[in-house]
Amino acid sequence: MSVTAEFWFATFVPAPTAGRCELLRAISGLTDPTYPPAAIAVEVRRWSPARWTVVVSVADSLDAPTVLHAVFGVSSDQEDSDKAALSGIPMIEARFNASGSTLSVHAVSYPERNGSAPVSALLRPLMTIEGLLPSQVPDRAWSPFQPIYRQVLVTPDIARPASELLGRVVDSVPERTSVTRIPAPLLTVLFDTALYPDLFQLISDTPAAYVWTGLSGPFEERPGVGQTVTGGRAPLVRLDRVSAFGAPMFVFQEVEIVGFRTELTSTADLAPLIDTLNFHRNKQEGGGPIDFRYDIATPTVVIELLRYGKMRTTEAAPPFTDQDFTSQHELLVRLLVGRVDDDTPQAHEPALFVPTIFVDNPWSKFVGRRLEGFPKVLAEFYAGGVLLDINGTSPFRTGGKVPFHELTEIRLASADASPSQAPLLRIDCPDADTGSSDAFVGVPLPTILGGTATRRGRFDQADFSDVEFRRSFAREVVAEQFTGFQVVQVSPVEELGLPSAWITGRCELDDVEVAFPTGIATLELLAPPSAPPAWKRLCEIIPQSGQTVGFPTGDWYRVRCSMKLTVDDALAW
């Protein structure tokens, strides 16, 4: 990919409603921009006809901006989105359509509320930008023109990850060259009305006050201007956890799961996948305790496909209510780990760790990577070659949601990847709906499931061969199965120059029904070049000929349930 982009940078007079924008509230606790804002800035960057990025910011000046506080951004490419996150810029992936000098953007967003009814996120128009002309007669050369983005990189605090963040100010600049200012600018930006992100509050439907254009490179971190820096970086600050999506207590309803379990010959091949859990031993960060470690408890690997009909928080922040929700499809890999103290022979605190996970909801990816320690990657979910929306519907299919058991393929989402490069997983579950509701039983599961369906859940007593994971550890895992489980992740996902923290929590399942369909299901695991390293590793070590894995009756299952996930605050008494 080229490292040089064409850019347009426009400033606008703030609308009278700018102070009511919830997006500004979200950044007010992290940065200290001037309120009311002196100007609103919109920067558009284009690397290729299919690769775009737009960042909306608060600027310190209308005609000569020097400092920007990014409010929100969208990108057509998740690599660009991930790079922006390293500079603290809040950004999600979106769909772009360029025609002449007009750019339109569709993104997953929440429409305006209609009465008191819950609001559900869906893919819808977000913004239209007009006047992106490729060549202009310059008013005059404008050099230097290097406004910086001043953001705060954050990660959950290790002691209170559910309520407090650690952060540091970071200044970054996309180096701009060949800059000119355009006379009598006619560039306009129109934001569609939405409950969230409520960008339409920021500017009125008027042309930009000033527009600059030129060439732009990638973001580069610089020592904070006016900041006291240590080792070239600003000092750490402690912040209250503020998120429009509320506290990390989530409810998942209308959940469907199709799970597959496969057994490796030993845990050795899996050990590198949990390196991040042992950051305290590997990096000696913060001088914390090093007399324990996390180990792989069993060589059994669980691959799960999930559909969340409704995802909502139990403690919503404005503009949301507790009943507003979004939806999602998910592919993840679960490894069972345990905490092993150096001076004891018995492991304890069993938990499920997710080394790699794919979702089709960009908001879920953004929040999960930033605040929950899940290394989420954006993907696309297909049923019979038809792309599904996040809520399970398709404009090419009638009759509501496409049944989840018809899922056939998952592809990595990338603006520049061709379909032949993008597939991650192909699925064949014969007769997945045989018996329909008659195939499901409630929990606790009966001792004899019938036929050859002898599994009691994700894990079996025979899965635990290492001495430290037998007895009480194994009994605790097998006893819970589909009723609940502990989770553990590590934040930050990327290297941000911030301390690492364990994010632990509890997932409780309710209204659970489980089915063990008959027949052999197959998964074909594929590793496109841009797939995350953990997924590539799994594609190498799954013990089957080639990349196709077979799962006989009893080693794959279907679940229908609701779930509640709560993140722990270790020192909250």
Spans of all domains in the chain: 5-240, 249-264+295-567
- Neighbouring CB atoms inside 10 A of 138's CB total 15
pLDDT digits (tens, 9 = 90+) for 165-186: 888 899 998 888 889 888 778 8
Q: What backbone torsions phi and psi does residue 437 show, to the nearest 5 degrees? A: -65, -25
* 249-264+295-567 has the same fold as 5-240: yes
* pLDDT at residue 157 tops 70: yes
Tokens representing 531 are 């797939």
Longest dimension (CA), the chain: 81
Mean pLDDT value of segment 467-494: 88
* Per-residue model confidence (pLDDT) at position 523: 94
* Per-residue model confidence (pLDDT) at position 35: 63
Could you tell me the pLDDT band of residue 254, with boundaries at 50, 70 and 90?
very high
CB-neighbour burial class of residue 238 (10 A; exposed 0-12, middle 13-18, buried 19+): exposed
* Per-residue model confidence (pLDDT) at position 223: 61
- Rounded Cα distance, 369 and 190, in Å: 30
* CATH code reported for the domain at 5-240: 2.40.400
* Per-residue model confidence (pLDDT) at position 288: 54
Torsion angle of the four alpha carbons 355, 461, 508, 347, in this order, in degrees rounded to the nearest 10: -70
Among 95-104, 230-239, 478-487, name the most confident range.
95-104
* pLDDT at residue 189 tops 70: yes
Coil vs helix vs strand at 396: coil
Mean pLDDT of the chain: 85
- Rounded Cα distance, 73 and 221, in Å: 18
* Residue 155: strand pairing partners: 166
Range in 241-250, 267-276, 447-456, 564-573 the model is least confident about: 447-456
- Rounded Cα distance, 320 and 245, in Å: 8
Mean pLDDT value of segment 7-31: 82
* pLDDT at residue 437 tops 50: no
* Per-residue model confidence (pLDDT) at position 411: 95
- Rounded Cα distance, 302 and 299, in Å: 10
Mean pLDDT value of segment 76-94: 91
* Per-residue model confidence (pLDDT) at position 227: 47
* Per-residue model confidence (pLDDT) at position 544: 59
Residue of higher predicted confidence among 3 and 424: 424
Distance (Å) of CA 288 to CA 284, 306, 495, 502? 7, 36, 19, 12
Distance (Å) of CA 67 to CA 33, 42, 207, 502? 9, 13, 22, 34
Could you tell me the pLDDT band of residue 226, with boundaries at 50, 70 and 90?
very low
* pLDDT at residue 245 tops 70: no
- Neighbouring CB atoms inside 10 A of 395's CB total 8
Distance (Å) of CA 513 to CA 261, 305, 561? 18, 16, 6
Could you tell me the pLDDT band of residue 39, with boundaries at 50, 70 and 90?
very high
Could you tell me the pLDDT band of residue 450, with boundaries at 50, 70 and 90?
very low
Range in 41-45, 290-294, 381-385, 560-564 the model is least confident about: 290-294
* CATH code reported for the domain at 249-264+295-567: 2.40.400
* Per-residue model confidence (pLDDT) at position 314: 82
Could you tell me the pLDDT band of residue 447, with boundaries at 50, 70 and 90?
very low
- Rounded Cα distance, 48 and 43, in Å: 16
Could you tell me the pLDDT band of residue 416, with boundaries at 50, 70 and 90?
low
Could you tell me the pLDDT band of residue 572, with boundaries at 50, 70 and 90?
very low
**Sole residue written with tokens 């953004």:** 366
Pairing between β-strand 91-93 and β-strand 67-75 as defined by DSSP bridges: parallel
Mean pLDDT value of segment 139-164: 82
Q: What angle do CA 24, 25, 29 make, to 5 degrees?
A: 110
Contact 535, 356 (CB under 8 A): yes
Tokens representing 192 are 């569609």
| pLDDT above 90 coverage of the chain, percent | 48
Among 181-185, 239-243, 452-456, name the most confident range.
181-185
Could you tell me the pLDDT band of residue 53, with boundaries at 50, 70 and 90?
very high
Could you tell me the pLDDT band of residue 533, with boundaries at 50, 70 and 90?
very high
Could you tell me the pLDDT band of residue 233, with boundaries at 50, 70 and 90?
low
Could you tell me the pLDDT band of residue 543, with boundaries at 50, 70 and 90?
low
Torsion angle of the four alpha carbons 129, 105, 250, 239, in this order, in degrees rounded to the nearest 10: -40
* pLDDT at residue 463 tops 50: yes
* pLDDT at residue 343 tops 60: yes
Sequence-separated (6 or more) residues with CB below 8 Å from residue 480? none
* Per-residue model confidence (pLDDT) at position 451: 39
* Per-residue model confidence (pLDDT) at position 256: 94
Contact 353, 375 (CB under 8 A): no
* pLDDT at residue 217 tops 80: yes
**Sole residue written with tokens 């983005």:** 149
pLDDT digits (tens, 9 = 90+) for 94-142: 999 999 999 999 999 999 999 889 999 999 999 999 999 765 544 455 5
* Residue 110: strand pairing partners: 196
* Per-residue model confidence (pLDDT) at position 236: 85
Mean pLDDT value of segment 452-463: 70
Could you tell me the pLDDT band of residue 67, with boundaries at 50, 70 and 90?
very high
